[in-house]
Structure 1
Amino acid sequence: MPRVSFILTVAMLSAFGLIASDVYLPAMPSMTIEFGVADWQMPQTVSIYLLALAIAQLVYGPLSDRYGRKPLLLAGITLYMAGSLGCAASDSYVGFLAWRILEAVGAASGLVIGRALIADTCDKRTSAKVYAMVYPLVSLSPALAPAIGGHLAATFGWRADFLCVAAFGAMALLMVLTLLPETLPVQDRTRTSPFTGFGHVLRDRTFCRYTLVVCAIYSAWFVYLTQSPFLFARQGLSEEQSGWLYLPLTAGIIGANLLAKRLLDRWPYDRIITAGIVFFVLGGVAFLAVGALQLQGTASVILPMCLVSLANGSSLSLAVSGAVASEHGHVATASGLVGFCQIGSAALVAMGVSAVFGTGVGVLGDAVLALGLLALFTCLPWSGYRKKVV
C-alpha cells in the first residue's frame, strides 16, 4: 500500500473539482440578485464549469502519459489558483463565467493525474482499496464545502468562497512540491503522439461499461447539487442552514465506501457495484413516493438522496477504479476519458434538466429514477457487465 502522505496528497488533488464546484452553492440565490440574472442561469455556472472540467481532462491524460505526472500537475494547480482569484474579483456574470472556465481547466489536472498516480503505483485490486481510503476524504468536500461556503458568504460575502478555494489550491501545491514523487519514469512514457491511446481505451468494453455506471451516478448527484439550493431557499432556509444539509449525504457516502472496502475481500467486485446501484434505484422510487403522498419539508428531499448517496460511496469509486485499471494499457488516457465522460455527462444532464424542466422536487426525483434505471440496466446479465474482475 502507498504511504499515508501519498494518499493524503492524492485526496487533495481529487477534491479539487468538487470543492470549487460546491463551495458557493448556498450563495447562488444571492449571487443571482447581485448579477441581475434569472434563477435558472446560476445553475448554469456549475454546468459550464463541469463542461470545461470534462474537456480539459482529455488533454491532461495523454500529455501526462508523454511528459510525466508532476510537470502537468504543477501547471494545472497554478491555473486553478488564478481562476479562483479571478472569480473572487468578478463584477459581472459573463466575467465570472470566464474565470470559472479557467478554474475548471486547472482543476482537471488534479482529477486526472490523481487517478493516474494510484494506477501507477498499485495493481487493480489494491487500487480499489486505495480509492476506498481516498474517496471518504474526497466525499467530505460536497458537505463541508457548502457548509463552509455558506458561513463565509453570510459573514464576508460570496467572494470569500473563492478566496478559500485559492488557499486550498496553495496548500495542494505545497504538498505536491514537497511530498509527491514522479510516478512515471522516463522509460515508461509514451513515445508516439500523446492522443493515440484514445482508440485503445474506447475499444475496451469493460472500460465503457464501468464508465456508463460512473456517468449515471454522477449525473444524478449534480442534478441534486444544482436543484437543491433553490428547493431549500423556497422552504425559507438561510445560506448557513442549507449548507449543513449536505452533511447527511456525505455520511452515507463515507459509510458505503468503508463498507465496500471491507466487502472487497469477500464479494465479487461487480456484486458490490450492483448492490450500490439497487439503492440508487430505491432513492428514485422514494422520490416517487414523496410526490404521490405530497410530502413537504427538507426530509422529503434529503432522505431519498441518502439512498442515492450509498451508490455514490460504493459503486462510483469502484467503477472509476475498474475503468482506469482495465486492460487497455493507457492509464492516464483512460483516467482523462472516464473523467471527461463523468463530468461532461453530469454537466449536460444538470444543465438540460434545469433549463428544460426548471427546479422542483418532482423534477429532481424523475431525473434520479431515470438515471438509476440506466445504471441498473448496465448491470443486468445480458449487458455483459457481470464479467469476473480480478
Structure 2
Amino acid sequence: MPRLSFILTVAMLSTFGLIASDIYLPAMPSMTTELDIADWQMPQTVSFYLLALAISQLAYGPLSDRHGRKPVVLAGGVLYLIGSLGCAASGSYVGFLAWRMVEAVGAAAGLVIGRALIADTCDKRISAKVYAVVYPIVSLSPALAPAIGGHLAVAFGWRADFLFVAAFGAVALLMALTLLPETLPVSARTRTSPFAGFSHVLRDRTFRRYTLVVCTIYCAWFVYLTQSPFLFVRAGLSEEQSGWLYLPLTAGIVGANLLAKRLLDRWPYDRIVTVGIACFVLGGTAFLTAAALGWSGAAAVVLPMCLVSLANGSSLSLAVSGAIASEHGYAATASGLVGFCQIGSAALMAMVVSAAFGTSFSVLGGAVLVFSLLALSACLPFSLQTTSGA
C-alpha cells in the first residue's frame, strides 16, 4: 500500500471537484431568486460544470502521459482556485456559468491525475484497496459539502460557499506541491500523438463494461443531486435542514466502501460489483413502490437513495479501478476516458431530465429505476464469468 500522505493527497485532489459541484445545492432556490432566473435554469449550472469537467478530462490524461503527473495537476489546481474566486464574485447568471466552467476545467486535473497516480503505483487489486480508502474520504463531500454550504449560505450568503471552495482548493494545491511525488519517470512518458491511446482503451471490452457500470450509478446520483433540493423545499424544509439529509447517503457510501475492501480478499472482484448493483436495483424498485403507494416527503426521497448509495460505495469504486487497470496499458488515458464518460453522461442526463420533465418525485424515481436496470444489464457478463469460474 502507498504511504498515507500519498493517499490523503490523492483524496484531496479527487475531492475538490466534487465539493465545488455539491456545496451550493441547498442555496439553489435562493440563488434562483437573486439571479432572477427560472427554477429549471439553476440545475443547469451543475450540468454545465459537469460537462466542462468531463470534456477537460480527455485532455489531462494524454498531457500527463507526455509531461508527467505533477506539473499537470499543479496547473489544474491554479485554474480551479481562480475559477472558484470568480464564482464568488459573479453578479450575473451568465458570468457565474462562465466561471463555473473555468473552475471545472481546473478540477478535472485532480480527478484524472489522482486515478493515474494510483494506477502508476498499484496493481488492480491493490488499486481497489486504495480506492476503498480514498472513496470514503471523497464520498464525504456529497453530504458534508451541502451541509456546510447550507450553513454558510444562511450566515453569509451563497458567495461564501465558493470562498470556502477556493480555500479548500488552496490546501489541496499546497499538499500536491509539497507531498506528491512524480510517479511517471521521464523514460516512461509517451512521445507519440497525445491521443494515440484512445483507440487502444476503447477496444478493451472490459473497460467498456466497467465504464457502463460507472456511468449508470453516477447518472442516477447526479439526477438526485439536481432534483432533491427542490423536492426538499416543497416538503417544507429549510436550506440548513435539507443540507443534513445528504449525510445518510454518505454513511451508506462509506459503509459499502469499507465492506468492499474487506470482501476483496474473500470474494471474486466482479461478484462484489454485482452485489452492489443489486442494491441499486432495489433502490430503484423502492422509488417505484413509494410512488405507487402515494408516499411523499423527505423520507420517501432519502430512504430509497440510501440503497443506491450502497452501489455508489462498492460497485462504483471497483468499476473505476477495473476500467483503469485493465489490459489496455494506458492508465492516464483510461482515467481521462472513464472520467469523461462518467461525468459527461451524468451532466447530460441531469440536464435532459430536469429540462424535459421538470423536478418531481416521479421523475427522480423513474430515472433511478431506468439507470439501475441498465447497470444490471452491464453486470450480467460479470455474473456469468464469476459463475463459470467458480
| Normalised TM-score (structure 2) | 0.98
| 1:52 and 1:101 in contact (8 A); partners too | yes
Asked if residue 288 in structure 1 is aligned to residue 288 in structure 2, the reply is yes
Distance verdict in 2 for CA 1:110–1:228, change over 3 Å: same
Asked if residue 197 in structure 1 is aligned to residue 197 in structure 2, the reply is yes
Matches of 1:311 and 1:244, distance apart in 2: 21
Match of 1:379 in 2: 379
Match of 1:358 in 2: 358
Match of 1:105 in 2: 105
| 1:379 and 1:386 in contact (8 A); partners too | no
Range with greater deviation from structure 2 (240-249 or 375-384): 375-384
Asked if residue 298 in structure 1 is aligned to residue 309 in structure 2, the reply is no
| Normalised TM-score (structure 1) | 0.98
Amino acid aligned to 1:83: G
User: 1:113-170: CA deviations, max 9, x gaps?
Assistant: 0000000011110000000000000000000000000000000000000000000010
Unaligned runs of 5+ in 1: none
1:85-96 matches, cutoff 5 A: 85-96=85-96
Match of 2:217 in 1: 217
Helix, strand or coil for the counterpart of 1:256? Answer: helix
Match of 2:136 in 1: 136
Matches of 1:383 and 1:314, distance apart in 2: 16
Matches of 2:124 and 2:283, distance apart in 1: 30
Matches of 2:378 and 2:299, distance apart in 1: 30
The alignment of Structure 1 onto Structure 2 pairs a total of residues equal to 389
Amino acid aligned to 1:8: L
User: 1:163-208: CA deviations, max 9, x gaps?
Assistant: 0000001001110111111000000001111110000000000000
Match of 1:170 in 2: 170
| 1:325 and 1:331 in contact (8 A); partners too | yes
Amino acid aligned to 1:365: G
Match of 2:120 in 1: 120
Matches of 1:388 and 1:212, distance apart in 2: 22
Match of 2:343 in 1: 343
Matches of 2:177 and 2:351, distance apart in 1: 37
How far has the Cα of 1:386 moved from its partner? Answer: 5.3
Asked if residue 57 in structure 1 is aligned to residue 57 in structure 2, the reply is yes
Asked if residue 237 in structure 1 is aligned to residue 230 in structure 2, the reply is no
Distance verdict in 2 for CA 1:262–1:201, change over 3 Å: same
How far has the Cα of 1:383 moved from its partner? Answer: 9.0
Matches of 1:182 and 1:381, distance apart in 2: 37
Matches of 2:108 and 2:388, distance apart in 1: 31
Amino acid aligned to 1:271: R
| 1:25 and 1:229 in contact (8 A); partners too | yes
User: 1:313-339: CA deviations, max 9, x gaps?
Assistant: 000000000000101010000000000
How far has the Cα of 1:112 moved from its partner? Answer: 0.1
| 1:209 and 1:385 in contact (8 A); partners too | no
Unaligned runs of 5+ in 2: none
User: 1:69-113: CA deviations, max 9, x gaps?
Assistant: 000001000000000000000000000000000000000000000
Match of 2:151 in 1: 151
User: 1:23-53: CA deviations, max 9, x gaps?
Assistant: 0000000000001100000000000000000
Matches of 1:306 and 1:181, distance apart in 2: 37
How far has the Cα of 1:387 moved from its partner? Answer: 9.5
Distance verdict in 2 for CA 1:91–1:387, change over 3 Å: farther
How far has the Cα of 1:296 moved from its partner? Answer: 2.1
Range with greater deviation from structure 2 (309-318 or 9-18): 9-18
User: 1:292-350: CA deviations, max 9, x gaps?
Assistant: 11112211011000000000000000000000010101000000000000000000001
| 2:256 and 2:311 in contact (8 A); partners too | yes
Aligned structure 1 segments of 4 or more residues deviating by more than 2 angstroms: 381-389
Match of 2:228 in 1: 228
How far has the Cα of 1:381 moved from its partner? Answer: 3.7
> How many percent of aligned residue pairs carry the same amino acid?
81
Matches of 1:353 and 1:312, distance apart in 2: 20
Matches of 2:266 and 2:25, distance apart in 1: 39
Matches of 1:312 and 1:181, distance apart in 2: 29
| 1:154 and 1:240 in contact (8 A); partners too | yes
